[in-house]
Structure 1
Amino acid sequence: MTMSPAAHSLPALSSSHRPLADHSANWRMLLLAAAALVVGSGGAFGAWVLIKAIAIATNLFWFGRLDGSPAAIVDNALGVWLVVVPAIGSLIVGLMARFGSDKIRGHGIPEAIEAILYGESRLSLKVALLKPLSSAISIGSGGPFGAEGPIIMTGGAIGSLFAQSFQLSAAERKTLLVAGAAAGMTAIFGSPMAAILLAIEVLLFEWKPRSFVPVVIAVLVSFLWRPVLIESGPMFPVHHAMELNAELLGIALVMGALAGLQAAVLSNGLYRVEDIFARLPLHWMWWPALGGIAVGIGGLCDAHVLGAGYESIRALLDGSLVIRVAVALLVVKALVWLIALGSGTSGGVLAPLLLMGGALGFLLGQMLPGGGALWALAGMAGILSGAMRAPLTAALFAVELTGDFAMLPLTMAASASAYGVSVLVMRRSILTEKIARRGRHVLQEYTVDPLDFLQAEQVMTPAPHTLPATMTAAEACAFFGEEGRHRSYPVVDDEGRLLGMVSRLDALRWQVGGAPAGATMAEMLSDVSVPSGNPKDAISRIADMMVDTGCGRIPIVDPASRRVIGILTRHDLLKTRHAHRSAENLRSGRHPKPANLSHG
């Protein structure tokens, strides 16, 4: 902090003040945008490979043919033997997880979040190869999952691997990982805006040009590839020829609240099932096979619960689904999905949630104005918002799937209502609960850090006590022994210009080891660099300086004259954050106890 032995080895320690700006972008953003062109293409091709792999697996498992064309599991003629097929596929997935990589287990998005927050956004080539293959086997053999979770993990791995090959920073790797994930989702569903919002609400944990621009570039590139590789237009084109009014929007709010409760029940049920599997006296490699047997039994009840179920989503949205099938999707699909996903097999959550929320809305819609198809749409938006805590993504995703953007106010009402219910009744989302169970906390709220918008001159202690450069080492020792209230003090010349910092530790070292007779502070500090801040610096820069140098008290100097005009301490930083939180939580008519404003 001062003249301790480490102080002599410090580099130039001025704040290197830069003008404050609204954003922190620099020219490397353009480098990431260029890289996003490649990552976006990789995400699109990864989605195409995944779709083809699912089709091939479906044909092999259910029809015994090698064919990459789409096939409907409900057309199989296996009879009661269909119980065996999901179990075989799940057993293969368990073996791949055991002897390949256990990161392919689960639905992919929590693993991507964990890699972003705790793994420096590093995903391996093994995961990039095994995740889509295992998911294709799981879904193709009847697993009640969708392709979105696997493609988010696969697209993210493509972006991460590309970033790792160029030795980019962890923040830049995160940007390209999320860009690849959003590109993959865009290619699967044709929903570029929802993919961008998913990146912002769920994956990025920031709102910065550095990440936003490359993600948009990757999504747009993937969107342009989609007609060439997969298909063009909305995935489930539907148009509701009706005008929204207060009655429909009010019903949408109620529908959203019910979907939010449905999401809470499903999320709680999923982790209860995981706990049951964890208590089994079997290695986790065998759990997916047990889950596969449950899936097969559900398929005997109604084959519509098997596989991704995109045709059932289409039937829900155009109103053609049979009531009996809708009931099976609401009840049986939920049960087999909970058991299969809780067993640790590989699959996604988005398509199953669409089916279950859509089935709820479809059935209730039989008694409501607008019909089942309209309320299936609202139910889908609501359950996605409630389960994933991504209300903007959910509202826009529902209308992008159908192309019916006139229904956006309705899906937004359902989404907001479900979100409100979800955050009140569930501590964590279905995505973050898994991470929390590993002992890691995720906060999904964005706020402005007071350390970033307050400046040093607003927080510092003005006109601090300083020591004159003419003071001798002996006088400094006496001062710290009798009067010194703080651990260190700025040393200034006759004009008040900063020369350095002297600490209680320095005085003790001089007293024990001896100092040159009559040596003044100016002579003792002649070869010592000292950290200092600018009054216009954001206090986050001062905090970084404290960490980098170990100095707990940073003098603030006038940039023109180098005169000391204030001092900023660790206590000031903590006090600032405390005051911000107290003001945020302040209720009308209630005032927090004032903080101790003394400076240490």
Structure 2
Amino acid sequence: MLGIDKLNLSSLAKQLMGKKKLYWISFIIGVVSGIAALILKNLIHFIGERLVGYFVISSGNYWFLAFPLIGILITVLIIRYLVKDDLSHGVSKILAAISLNKGKIKPHNSFSSMITSSFTIGFGGSVGAEAPVVLTGASIGSNLARFFKLDQAEIMLMIGCGATGAIAGIFKAPIAGVVFTLEVLMLDLTMASLVPLLISGITSAVIAYYFMGDAVLFKFSVIHTFEAVQIPYYILAGVFAGFLSLYFTRVAMSVEKKMKSIKKQSVRLIYGGIALGVLIFLFPPLWGEGYSSINKVFNDMGHNLLDNSLFYDFGDNPWFFASFLMALLLVKVVAMAITTASGGIGGIFAPTLFVGAVGGYFLAYTLNLVFGLHLPLDNFALAGMGAMMAGVMHAPLLGIFLTAELTGGYELLFPLIIAALAAYITIMRFEPHSIYTKRLAEDGKLVTHNKDRAVLHFMEVGELIETDLKIIDPEATLGDLVKSISKSKRDLFPVVDHNGMLKGMVKMNDIRNLIFKQELYDKIHVKDLMYMPEYYISPKDSMHVVAEKFETSGRFNLAVIDQGKYIGFISRAKVFSIYRNTVRTFSYD
């Protein structure tokens, strides 16, 4: 009894030491990802201020035509000659690494996306810095986990810690960072794994507060309190954001596809850079992340969106201003897609927030203009921002909590929830996948959002192959087969020729009535008893294919054949056993 108690205490001590190690690593990830977010935001601000800080607000500025092209050119040159790897679509790359590469993210992603995106966005590229810094954080988590030789489940958890730290650092929003990891990356995490996520998130946020002060990213003051009579309009705002999210997703992918059809990178860069410059020249709010425009919308300065544009003098015309807002909603996603497809590096986070805030503002402004209502423009801009995130990213909780944390608008949590849910329900009717997961889902490579597929993905066909079956030659007699049966613990016998080619198989049940008839031992040959299996597996098949073949065939054993050569067998029992062990491994507690 004492020995059992000692064993239990030893096991408990090992678990505690293991968790303590994870806590320290998650803390380190929080520190590093927080510093990365800090550096990126300051780089973007420094470059942008040096370029446009002197522009005259009352007229168009022709430098808008050139700066985006220059920024993308610098980015492309860095990628081509220094990084030499694809850096586009940061969050999608994380999902791909989880789905296809067991969470292994290349070490250069710990800094390369951060450097290149600072030039893209600093020179006016109409994208956000969040996806690059999330990829940076995830890469930091992945590489630190492998450096400390953590197991597969812990590597996934550390990737989540990196992503959480990145979001928390760039937005000073630790809760939103955790929600992002759980809702967007969809890692199969348990309640116990929330502790490392929270450690990374709060550590990164504290670093951001320490170096950047306690000012929130968006200055929002609740001037107009929520009124129940406005609920139908918030539902309408959510539905509008849902359809706007559908437009955002479809147009982004369509524009990128058309741009990528231009095979020559230099031509794509020139066309895209010029087109982006023209759009920003006509609509200056498209410049960069667009957070300054969101602040104007939140602080009753919506008409200042016409600053630096050719249309500055038309700001007093309400119908023209409404048309200008509508145009912004339609072209922002085009500018975003052109930026990334031309070679720029950035994400959809900031464009989504921009379209949401301007969309909510536009809807309330138009309803007030047409029907003489008095809807609070700032509140609807806030609700639109949360609703747009819920729609584009299929993440209603992220839309609610990130918007509330960013703006300090917790007093408007109720309309935020209404609008976010309405947007999510609306887009799910038309688009089952978020903009992050759509590409992987179309290629059948998305596993993070399907737990069964995720477990199968981390199983290897090679570790399931059994080779202890007795092999017999097709020319052997029944007597030879009986001798093999006497030495075997299995009831299945592969028939293999001298070249190693599988010719068929013999099942014990099929010959049970013959094995005691000694007079037939020399008269019947194995080739007369064998049959070729209808279903078999290639060693190159994925575990998803193996599982499907077991399900459709109803067999308990399947032969593994490589170009006709016999390799071994896989049994349903062993697949189930390894499946359960894999589930247990990834159920971190």
Q: TM-score scaled by structure 1? A: 0.67
Structure 1 window deviating more from structure 2 (223-232 vs 334-343): it is: 334-343
Check if 1:90 corresponds to 2:77. no
1:409 to 407, 410, 414: 414
Deviation at 1:397, TM superposition (A): 1.0
Q: Which segment drifts farther, 330-339 or 405-414?
A: 330-339
Matches within 5 A, 1:1-400: 28-59=18-49, 62=51, 79-101=61-83, 104-209=86-191, 211-283=193-265, 286-322=267-303, 324=321, 326-327=325-326, 329-366=328-365, 367=368, 368-400=373-405
In the alignment, the residues of structure 1 paired with residue 126 and residue 454 of structure 2 have an alpha-carbon distance, to the nearest angstrom, of 42
Q: Distance in 2 between the 1:175 and 1:506 partners?
A: 50
Given residue 189 of structure 1, which amino acid in structure 2 is its aligned partner?
Answer: F
Separation (CA, whole Å) in 2 of partners of 1:112 and 1:241: 40
Name the SS for the 2:429 alignment partner.
Answer: helix
Matched residues in 2 for 1:54 and 1:449: separation?
37
Alignment partner of 1:435 is 2:416? no
In structure 2, distance between residues paired with 1:179 and 1:188: 14
Gaps of 5+ in 2: 1-7, 9-14, 304-317, 457-478, 493-506, 519-546, 558-570, 581-589
Structure 1, residues 71-92: CA drift from partner, whole Å, max 9, x if none? 5878699932331111111122
Distance 1:26 1:257 in 2: 48
Deviation digits for residues 236-280 of structure 1, max 9, x if unmatched?
Answer: 132324443443233222211111111111111111112212222
Q: Deviations over 1:334-370 (max 9, x none)?
A: 3312322343421111111111121111011122543
Alignment partner of 1:425: what SS? coil
CA deviation profile, 1:377-425 (whole Å, cap 9, x unmatched): 1111111111101110111111111102121111111111111111111
**Residues 298-336 of structure 1, C-alpha deviations (whole Å, 9 max, x = no match):** 121132211111111111222321174644532332331
Change (3 A) 1:443 1:245: farther
CA contact (8 A) 1:105 1:344 kept: no
Label 1:372 to 1:74 Cα distance change in 2 as closer, same or farther (>3 A).
Answer: farther
Equivalent position amino acid for 2:63 in 1: W
Q: Give the counterpart letter for 2:163 in structure 1.
A: A
d(CA) in 1 for partners of 2:205, 2:287:
29
Q: Is 1:266–1:338's contact at 8 Å kept on the other side of the alignment?
A: no
Q: Give the Cα–Cα distance (whole angstroms) in 1 for the partners of residues 68 and 130 of structure 2.
A: 20
Matched-pair contact (CA < 8 Å) for 2:31–2:204:
yes
363-372 vs 385-394, greater mean Cα deviation: 363-372
CA contact (8 A) 1:144 1:352 kept: yes
Distance 1:301 1:506 in 2: 80
**Relative to structure 1, is the Cα distance of residues 259 and 81 closer, same or farther in structure 2, using a 3 angstrom cutoff?**
same
Counterpart amino acid of residue 258 in structure 2: I
Give deviations 1:126-176, integer Å, cap 9, x for gaps: 222210011000000100112111110111111122112112223212211
Say if 2:157 and 2:189, in contact at 8 Å, map to a contact too.
no
- CA gap 1:370/1:79 in 2 versus in 1, 3 angstroms: closer
- Take 1:387 and 1:92, find their aligned partners in 2: how far apart are those partners? 29
Which range moved further: 409-418 or 38-47? Answer: 409-418
Structure 1 CA distance for aligned equivalents of residues 285 and 133 of structure 2 = 23
Native 8 Å contact 1:357 1:379 kept in 2: yes
Which amino acid letter does the alignment assign opposite residue 256 of structure 1? G
Q: Is the alpha carbon distance of 1:108 and 1:73 closer, same or farther for their aligned partners in structure 2, counting shifts above 3 Å? A: farther
Distance (Å, rounded) in 2 between the aligned partners of 1:76 and 1:132: 33
Count of matched residue positions in the alignment of Structure 1 and Structure 2 = 451
Contact 2:117/2:345 (8 A) holds in 1:
yes
Indicate how the Cα distance of structure 1 residues 276 and 573 shifts in structure 2: closer, same or farther if over 3 A, else same. Answer: same
1:450-469 correspondence to structure 2 within 5 Å: none
> Where does residue 425 of structure 2 map in the other structure?
420
Tell me which protein shows more helix as a share of its residues: 2
Task: Look up the equivalent residue of 1:55 and give its one-letter code.
Answer: H
Contact 1:187–1:230 (Cα < 8 Å) also in 2: no
Tell me, in whole angstroms, the C-alpha distance in 1 between the residues paired with 2:281 and 2:453.
53
The answer (yes or no) to whether the contact 1:358–1:377 under 8 Å persists in 2 is yes
Q: Distance in 2 between matches of 1:448 and 1:280?
A: 35
Residue 26 of structure 1 and its aligned partner are, at CA, apart by: 7.5
Report if aligned partners of 2:256, 2:341 keep a CA contact under 8 Å in 1. Answer: yes
Aligned-partner residue type, residue 262 of structure 2:
L
Contact map agreement 1:135 1:150 (CA 8 A) in 2:
yes
- Give the equivalent residue in structure 2 for 1:521: none
Q: 1:404-553 alignment to 2 at 5 Å?
A: 404-442=409-447, 444=449, 504=508
Displacement of 1:196 in angstroms is: 0.8
Which residue identity does 1:372 align to in structure 2?
Answer: L
- Following superposition, the deviation at residue 569 of structure 1 comes to 7.3
- Aligned pairs (5 A) from 1:577-588: none
Aligned equivalents of 1:437 and 1:72: distance in 2? 46
1:381–1:394 CA contact under 8 A, matched in 2: yes
C-alpha contact (below 8 Å) 2:99/2:445 kept by paired residues? no
Q: SS state of the match for residue 238, structure 1? A: coil
Indicate the larger mover: 31-40 or 429-438: 429-438
Change (3 A) 1:55 1:74: farther
Alpha carbons of 1:47 and 1:72: their partners in 2 closer, same or farther (altered >3 Å)?
farther
In the alignment, the residues of structure 1 paired with residue 99 and residue 193 of structure 2 have an alpha-carbon distance, to the nearest angstrom, of 15
Q: In the alignment, is the contact (CA less than 8 A) between 1:141 and 1:307 conserved in 2?
A: yes
- Distance of 1:125 and 1:246 partners within structure 2: 51
Q: CA deviation at 1:214?
A: 0.9
Shift of 1:427: 3.4
CA positional deviation for 1:450:
13
CA–CA separation in structure 1 for the residues paired with 2:336 and 2:140: 28
Could you tell me which runs of 5 or more consecutive residues in structure 1 were left unpaired when the two chains were aligned: 1-17, 19-24, 64-70, 452-473, 489-502, 515-542, 554-567, 578-600
The answer on whether the counterparts of 2:141 and 2:158 sit within 8 Å (CA) in structure 1 is yes
* Local SS of the residue matching 2:301: coil
Task: Point out the more displaced range, 45-54 or 90-99.
Answer: 90-99
Partner amino acid for 2:271?
L
Q: How far apart are the structure 2 equivalents of 1:393 and 1:73?
A: 36
